[in-house]
Amino acid sequence: MSAIDHTGIGAADVSRSAVFYDAVLGALNLRRVAEMPENVGTDGIGYGAEYPVFWIDRFHPHSVKQHVAFAAKSRAEVDAFHAAAVKSGGTDNGAPGLRGGGYPPGYYAAFVLDPDGNNIEAVFREQ
């Protein structure tokens, strides 16, 4: 069991951000599992496998330059995450690759800025 039940970020335009997160999190096998209001998602959308572990919503401050890292199951998932992000309107903030300079050995990651300027990361930790 992880120590964090769920987390999230504010979005200036939930519908616009949902297009980005549907594609980006879909590359990591996460999908919409909850919407507020139900089946509309204009106030908030929760992503996960079965339970919402990451939310985008209109209730929290947006454009505050937050950072969220999502675990990937392989280098290929990190690559797919980055490609989906750039294709869906994200801005490259660090192409997929092994990281050095203080990162643990085998830290393969990619970074993108979402529509609100948040730094979103996918990471695969090689053994």
- Torsional class of 78: left (φ above 0), alpha (ψ -120 to 50), beta (otherwise): alpha
Q: Are 124 and 78 in contact (CB under 8 A)?
A: yes
How many Å apart are CA 89 and CA 57, to the nearest integer? 18
Could you tell me the domains of the chain? 7-58+65-125 (3.10.180.10)
Measured CA to CA, the distance from residue 68 to residue 104 in angstroms comes to 18
pLDDT bucket at 106, cuts 50 / 70 / 90: very high
Tell me the per-residue pLDDT of 16-59, one tens digit each, with 9 for 90 and over. 999 999 999 999 999 999 999 988 888 999 999 999 999 999 99
